[in-house]
Structure 1
Amino acid sequence: MPMKQAPINQETPYLLLDINKLDANIARMKAHLAPLNVTLRPHVKTNKSAQVADRFFNTADRPITVSTLHEADFFAQHGFTDILYGVAIAPNKFEHVRKLISEGIDLKLILDNVQTAQLLLDFSSLHHLPIKVLLEIDSDGHRSGLPPCDAEIEQIVGLLQGSLVTICGVMTHAGNSYNSRSLSEIEQYANQERDAVVSSAEMLRSLGVNVTIVSVGSTPTALFCKDLTGVTEVRAGVFAFFDLVMAGLGVCKPDDIALSVVTMVIGHQKEKGWVIVDAGWMALSRDRGTANQKVDQGYGIVCDINGRPIGDLIVSAANQEHGIISSRSGKHVDGLPVGTQLRILPNHACSTAAQYSGYYLLNLDESADTYWPRINGWQ
């Protein structure tokens, strides 16, 4: 069937999702993980869309990871019941957790300190509420989590043993993989995150904990890991869309990026060689994730309406509603008259998608749908 085109008459800027590329990216991740004997628990914080999340699964089991309890509510309403909330739980969210569990959601929470463990234990005891938790392990000094096999792990186990708060296992996120300078370095981070959680899981077992979940995850390490012995599941999210940060790491090619922002030329600064479009940082986000990579892509690569990059053009600067297109080489930009529609490939798919309430669709031949809604925010 012929490729469906971007909706030419839709007001710009808008978010365009290429379904063929989305499906190919998902298939690539599944094919890589299949021989490693692990479950894929995709992180839906990137897409925040029930229709996108559905495309990860062709079985009744549909485990997902969320970054907000608002996401947990939304996906629970769309039939996703096996949910890992992948951010350390805050006490002011305990009541929300109780609501989800009471609705039959198999919700797993994250702990990384004794103080929160005690508060969660008190809440669980007060409400006679069974709660499942994973201990977060810091595998690379990137962010939060307990050091592998840290003494505080034993303290948390001792505190929670025999209570309604059940430790199910461990999880980690190799965030430093996003700073890798080569694919071999990504593979090293993959080994490092595996070793961190597997050793910590063994520590838990030695303390009498029934470990059922050993969870790792980042898009770079998920796609370039080779040995996941001892790991039960992999979490990753941006791989479904990809973006310029992932392309800069060598994890994908720009042509694999399923997400783009459609914009229109609204003017020129001829003496500066600029083209002005109606997609500023409110449309593209402020994310400059490629700035520290080998190639700085500004606020995004400029493509024609069919998704083909135009020379060396990038969005080099952005105000709230204005984007400035210029040539990386400094040459004047010609041949883009007012009214020309363009597509911008994003630096960071998560933050760009968060600027919109949904996706206009490209190449969804089997359906009459032209738009998939998404959610945003925390409430």
Structure 2
Amino acid sequence: MNITKPTLLIDENIVRKNIKRMTERAKRFNCELRPHFKTHQSQRIGEWFRDYEIDKCAVSSLEMAKYFFNAGWVDITVAFPLNILEHTTVNDLAGKIKLNLCVESIETVKALNDFLEHPVGVFLKIDAGYHRTGLAAENYAEIQSILEALESNHLITIKGFLQHAGHTYGAKGKAEIDEIHAYTTEKMIKLKDYFIKKYPDIIISNGDTPTCSVSENFEHIDEMRPGNFVFYDVMQAEISSCQYEDIGVAMSCPVVAKHADRNEVIVYGGAVHFSKDRIEKDGKTIYGLIAEEKENGWGDPISGWYVKKLSQEHGTIHVPDEAFDQIKIGDLLYILPIHSCLTGNLMSKYYTLDGEEIEMFRYNS
């Protein structure tokens, strides 16, 4: 494969192992696995999930739902608060597939009731501790009023309660991930128990990769909805959601300059390729790690090598003294992304280790 510019590589073997592992975990916990496809955003990679008997998915937008419907997916949850301005798309999709939507306000439900033409499932989006958005899990009165408004529409099936414990991404290891999982799960179970008598078919849908990857207590969780696990990344490895050997994507970037006086190597590969997500480790701000090159792919991060700065197109790599002279202009470095979801979205395509192009969803396609 002739790489001449920043190129996002995917190791199909690693990705398939990640899918298989998560599928087996869901079966062990007697949970439905509804993987969130916002990470890979690819019809081709979506097909790999079918090999493990996955037939439903989650997405982050109605447009992405259309993209996967065109690949044969007919049971899709849009795990993002409903944008009522897209009512035409809602009705178009709802007439063709099992479409699940998320709501978190009575205003949204009133608008949905006014424009809905076909059956849909509806989840209430719950805030169980992340505080990004959603209804407070303890606000039973407001939740009750929304459920009653939904119940008034014969086209709506109330699916249950959906939450994303995204604050696990800031955990300091498995123990803290488990602590967050126990806290949010308790809130969701209490919420379900409060309403289960009136709504006997409601479910709990949990969706973050860290808890789904390493936590053990899913006894009362009905559906797992992780996304990042398909690739993982540096952030997930650092919080112990995975091992570095589980990271299924790496960016290959050409070396374009060297500065021996400050131990810096410049690569063609910047914020427009990686995003500016970062981690703090050992007093350093890190925007990516450089992996060792293997005969067919990449290995573990090289000790002491890291991306210390990103501008639009430039990536600045710190390299220890003893290794600096090993690098030549024109070399390719394998860089593990901090956040694979954003990196994939920015690059808009992948290449397998054999050089095959894998296309992705694009909003402007």
TM-score past 0.5 threshold = yes
Aligned to 2:106: 114
> Cα distance 1:63–1:168, how it changes in 2: closer, same or farther (>3 A)?
same
Shift in Å, 1:143 = 1.3
Task: Specify which of 215, 225, 236 is matched with residue 215 of structure 2.
Answer: 225
Instruction: Tell me which residue corresponds to 2:122.
Output: 133
What is the aligned partner in structure 2 of residue 52 from structure 1?
Answer: 45
Q: Are the aligned partners of 1:70 and 1:378 in contact in 2 as well (CA < 8 Å)?
A: no
Deviation of residue 210 (structure 1)? 4.0
Deviation at 1:330, TM superposition (A): 7.5
Match of 1:88 in 2: 81
Candidates 159, 162, 177, aligned match of 2:152: 162
1 CA distance for matches of 2:303 and 2:165? Answer: 35
Q: 1:196 to 1:332 in 2, by over 3 A?
A: same
1:132 CA drift (Å): 1.7
Write the mapping of 1:1-379 to structure 2, written as runs, cut at 5 A: 7=1, 9-58=2-51, 62-102=55-95, 104-124=96-116, 127=117, 129-150=118-139, 151-163=141-153, 164-206=155-197, 208-288=198-278, 290-291=279-280, 296=284, 298-306=286-294, 307-308=298-299, 309-327=301-319, 333-362=324-353, 370-377=356-363
**Does structure 2 conserve the Cα–Cα contact (< 8 Å) formed by 1:219 and 1:238?**
yes
Contact 2:130 2:164 in 1 (8 A): no
Deviations 1:232-282 (A, max 9, x none): 110001111010100110111222211110011111123222111111111
Is contact 1:168-1:210 (8 Å) kept? no
CA contact (8 A) 1:248 1:294 kept: no
Contact residue 359 and residue 373 of structure 1 kept, 8 A: yes
Structure-1-length-normalised TM-score: 0.89
**2:120 is aligned with what amino acid?**
I
TM-score under structure 2 length normalisation: 0.92
Letter of the 2:237 counterpart: A
Residues 315 and 326, structure 1, Cα contact 8 Å, conserved in 2 = yes
Determine the structure 2 residue equivalent to 1:366.
none
User: Which residue of structure 2 aligns with residue 3 of structure 1?
Assistant: none
Deviations 1:315-337 (A, max 9, x none): 1112211111113x677822101
Once residues 133 and 119 of structure 1 are traced to their aligned partners in structure 2, the CA distance between those partners, rounded to angstroms, is 14
User: For the structure 1 residues 301 and 131, does the alpha-carbon distance in structure 2 shift closer, same or farther, using more than 3 Å as the test?
Assistant: same
Q: Secondary structure at the match of 1:302?
A: strand
Partner SS for 2:124 = strand
Contact 1:305 1:343 in 2 (8 A): yes
User: Do the aligned residues in 2 keep the contact of 1:190 with 1:224 (CA within 8 Å)?
Assistant: no
Cα distance change, pair 149–142 in 1 and its aligned pair in 2 (3 A):
closer
In structure 1, C-alpha distance between the alignment counterparts of 2:314 and 2:26, rounded to whole Å = 42
- Any unmatched runs of 5+ in structure 1? 1-6, 364-368
How many Å apart are 1:78 and its aligned residue?
0.2
From the two aligned structures, give the one with the greater strand fraction: 2
> How far apart, CA to CA, are the structure 1 residues paired with 2:9 and 2:156?
43
Percentage of identical aligned residues: 30
Structure 2 unpaired stretches of 5+: none
Q: Tell me how many residue pairs correspond in the alignment.
A: 359
- Deviation for aligned residue 1:378: 6.9
Q: Cα 1:255–1:61, aligned 2, differ >3 Å: closer, same or farther? A: closer
Hey, what does 1:4 align to over in structure 2? Answer: none
Q: Which amino acid aligns with 1:122?
A: D
In structure 1, what residue type is equivalent to 2:94? I
Deviations 1:75-120 (A, max 9, x none): 0000111000000102102211111112x11110001111111111
In structure 2, relative to structure 1, the CA distance for the partners of 1:242 and 1:214 (3 Å cut) is: same
Per the TM alignment, residue 52 of structure 1 is displaced from its structure 2 partner at its CA by 1.1
Instruction: Report if aligned partners of 1:87, 1:110 keep a CA contact under 8 Å in 2.
Output: yes
Distance 1:185 1:311 in 2: 26
Aligned-pair distance for 1:344? 0.4
